[in-house]
Amino acid sequence: MITIKNELQLSKMRSAGHLLYDVLCTLREKMAPGMTTYDLDKIAHELITKNRATPSFLGYYDYPATLCVSIDDEVVHGIPSKHVRMEEGSIVSVDCGLILDSWQADSAFTKGMGKISEECEKLIRVTEECFWQGIRQAVDGNRIGDIGAAVQQHAESHGYGVVRDLTGHGIGQEMHEDPSVPNFGTPGRGVRLRRGMTIAVEPMIAMGRYPVHQLSDGWTIVTNDHKPCAHYEHTIAVTSGLPEVLTYPGFSWENAL
């Protein structure tokens, strides 16, 4: 069931989103070559809990960590470990969610460790661009397919694969709510967007082809061709105009246009 949020509920999601933004900014600043993914996860857990919030991922279907930290060909759901280091030249996707005052926020980014290849720099940049191209379509009266089609067109224009087995999602008091938000689609198709809907849009863009598979740990998703993948996500609210990015305080469409 799709839930429409009122202004009070949106203000609570905004507060959760602003806290998550601060957490991810700190993680982006601290993560560096040689650091273990476990150490990064520990920082995230401390930042979230000291602000009287709860990690969304920890315990979700028995997931064992606060973050998903996915390296190179890992698309999403990489489990933090004391035995996994973020090596120079790799690209690392960090996905995090939290609950504040019963409301959820979800966001992700990909960062290069030290000096990375020009090809990986472009992949990260284009993945972020796919997000912004997609959410420009997230306006009252449009449809979910308009978002996915915009993401897909931008990614494929650069020769990249758009992961199809994983999608964005509605979000509110639950981390995953209706509707599903694919990163591919047909304009004018799918659920109609309405003011007050809140969704997490999260392009997962592969340097190669889009097929993926799950590793034996039951969580980590990797590309079949083992080419790198980048991930970028924010929680947004549909408004009467361009959407509000709830996990990016201070963002202005006026400055972006």
What is the domain range of residue 202? 7-246
Does some domain include residue 256?
A: no
**The total number of structural domains that make up the chain:** 1
Q: What are 12-58's pLDDT values in tens digits? A: 999 999 999 999 999 999 999 999 999 999 999 999 999 999 999 99
Does some domain include residue 252?
A: no
Does some domain include residue 96?
A: yes
Does some domain include residue 255?
A: no
Does some domain include residue 254?
A: no
SS3 for the chain, per residue? CCCCCCHHHHHHHHHHHHHHHHHHHHHHHHCCCCCEHHHHHHHHHHHHHHCCCEECCCCHHHCCCCEEEEECCEEECCCCCCCCECCCCCEEEEEEEEEECCEEEEEEEEEECCCCCHHHHHHHHHHHHHHHHHHCCCCCCCEHHHHHHHHHHHHHHCCCEECCCCCEEECCCCCCEEEEECCCCCCCCCCECCCCCEEEECCEEECCCCCEEECCCCCCEEECCCCCEEECEEEEECCCCCCEECCCCCCCHHHHC
Does some domain include residue 253?
A: no
Does some domain include residue 31?
A: yes
Q: What is residue 254's predicted lDDT score, i.e. its pLDDT?
A: 80
Q: What are 73-124's pLDDT values in tens digits? A: 999 999 999 999 999 999 999 999 999 999 999 999 999 999 999 999 999 9
Q: What is residue 252's predicted lDDT score, i.e. its pLDDT?
A: 87
CATH number at residue 30: 3.90.230.10
